[in-house]
Amino acid sequence: MRARIAAGFLLTLALFLVTPPARATPREARVPLRDGELRLGDLSKALCRELHLPACDLGLGTIDVKRLRSADGVAALNESLGEGCRVTVNDDALVLHIDTAKLPRNCATMSKAVRVFTAISRPAATAAQAARYGLQMPAHFDPARPLVVLVHGLDCDRANWTDMLSLLTREGHQVACFTYPSDQPVADSAALFARHLTDLRRAHPQSRLDIVAHSMGGLVARAYVEGPDYAGGVGRLILVGTPNAGSNWSRIRMLLEWQEHYQLWRHEPAWSPSWMITDGLGEAGRDLRPGSAFLTSLNARPRREGVRYTVVVGTQSPVRRVTAGCLASASRSIGGSAAGVWGVRQLKNGLGRAADRLRDGATDGDGPVSIASARLPGVDDVVFVQADHATLYFGTAKTPPAAWDTVSDRLARR
How much is the pLDDT for 301?
Answer: 97
- Three-state SS sequence of 85-103: EEEEECCCEEEEEEEHHHC
Q: Residue 276 corresponds to which amino acid?
A: M
Count CB neighbours of 377 within 10 A. Answer: 9
Residues contacting residue 275 through CB under 8 Å, at least 6 positions apart = 125, 129, 261, 264
CA proximity to 189, closest of 219, 216, 213, 220: 220
How much is the pLDDT for 99?
Answer: 77
Right CATH number for 129-316+366-412 from 3.30.160.270, 2.140.10.10, 3.60.15.10, 3.40.50.1820?
3.40.50.1820
CA proximity to 87, closest of 161, 5, 14: 5
How much is the pLDDT for 341?
Answer: 65
How would DSSP label each residue in 364-391?
Answer: SBSSSSBHHHH--TT---EEEES--TTT
How much is the pLDDT for 77?
Answer: 66
Going from the first residue of the chain to its last (414 residues), give the mean pLDDT of each consecutive group of 10, the final group possibly shorter.
48 50 66 78 72 59 60 66 76 79 66 74 86 94 96 92 95 97 94 97 95 98 97 97 92 78 88 88 92 96 97 81 62 70 66 60 81 96 94 88 97 88
CA proximity to 37, closest of 58, 13, 16, 67: 67
Local structure of residue 110 (DSSP, 8 states): H
Three-class DSSP category at 293: helix
CA proximity to 193, closest of 206, 211, 175, 208: 211
How much is the pLDDT for 60?
Answer: 52
Domain chopping of the chain, boundaries: 2-121, 129-316+366-412, 318-360
How much is the pLDDT for 228?
Answer: 96
CA proximity to 69, closest of 86, 94, 47: 94
